[in-house]
Amino acid sequence: MIHHKTIAIITSDLEYFNTSICVGLNSEFSKNGYNTSIHLTHENENNEKEYVIKCIDNPNISGMIIFSCMNSAAFYYEVLKTTNKICVFVDRVIPYLSECNFVSSDNYGGAKKISELLAQKGAKNIIYLSMLKNKNISTTEDRINGFRDGHAPFCDVNCFRKEIEYSDNINGIKSILEEWETTHPPPDAIFAMNHLIMNALIQLTKQNKKWREMLHHTIFSCFDNVPYFDWIEKPIISVEQPIEQIVYYTSHIMLRRINNPNHFSTHANIILPVKIIDRTIKSSPLAW
């Protein structure tokens, strides 16, 4: 059988996590004689729909790898009924979509682990900085539920979930800190749902001496791990997602399905364990 030699990657953004996976996928596919085309949606549903339809209609595209920002799976339930185009979702779990595979980190389990750890470290009052909870086929709700369940056995833990607009992290966190300092004592811990929120929190505390002093003893934690967390002054507990494994399983599922178009198995759907990196147990040579 003659295979077309291009695999489309449709991604919502090119932040660290997605970019690292895209670079790895490009390398894996290149080694196997395939080109990749990157389609950036900028978190826009209409862009994603447009790219998906174009890739389905393009006979030179062998398959699609999708980092989705869609509000629901309805579009995919409908459009994938009419095509045999191979599709693998990354970091998204879409139930009852039998035509596709998915590869994801354990978002629920990772958030649960970090919540348990904060409670074990004695954190009683925790701020959870979250993106708005919505119906997106995203990781938001899994992380919310995992974090809630992690500290649930600790009856004296109070968690205050604060929602932030995706497009306005800085002002969202600024408003939360302004309100908090007038109504509460310093929190024992802050959990950021992703590194974009943590980036904004670090930036604001760097700029504001009063907040930096208020949060001096506050544990910072984040569901994401980026290299610069090892370099900054404030130690951060982070959830490290298995990027190399995501690349491995995503590329191998795609290539196996291209080479065996009549063989599809839901056993190829993968949820990968994550790792907790606790930098608070190390003494930092730098002052916060």
Instruction: With a cut of 80, say whether residue 231 has pLDDT above it.
Output: yes
Give the chain's largest Cα–Cα span. Answer: 68
Fill in the amino acid letter for 256.
R
What is the pTM assigned to this prediction? 0.91
Q: For residue 221, what are the β-bridge partners?
A: 191, 237
Residue 202 and residue 12: Cα distance in Å, rounded? 24
Q: What pLDDT was estimated at residue 137?
A: 67
Residues 6+ positions from 87 with CB-CB distance below 8 Å: 63, 64, 65, 66, 76, 80, 99, 100, 101
pLDDT recorded at residue 109: 97
Distance, in Å, from the CA atom of 148 to the CA atom of 154, rounded to the nearest integer, reads: 11
Domains by residue range for the chain, with CATH: 6-106+242-273 (3.40.50.2300), 107-240+276-281 (3.40.50.2300)
Question: Cα(105)–Cα(84) distance, rounded to whole angstroms?
Answer: 26
Q: Which of 157-166, 188-197, 262-271 has the lowest mean pLDDT?
A: 262-271
pLDDT recorded at residue 135: 54
pLDDT digits (tens, 9 = 90+) for 26-66: 999 999 999 999 999 998 999 999 999 999 999 999 999 99
Query: What is the distance between the alpha carbons of residues 220 and 192, in angstroms, rounded to a whole number?
Result: 8
Per-residue confidence at 82, pLDDT binned at 50, 70, 90? Answer: confident
Q: Kindly report, residue by residue over 242-260, the tens digit of the pLDDT.
A: 999 999 999 999 999 999 8
- The pLDDT, as a whole number, for residue 267 is 57
How high is the pLDDT of residue 112?
Answer: 97
Amino acid occupying residue 249: Y
Nearest to 171 by CA among 129, 226, 231, 215: 129
Look at 73-77, 178-182, 191-195, 196-200 and tell me which has the smallest mean pLDDT: 73-77
Residue 265 has pLDDT above 70, yes or no: no
Cα–Cα distance measured from residue 285 to residue 4, given in angstroms and rounded to the nearest whole number: 54
pLDDT for residue 244? 98
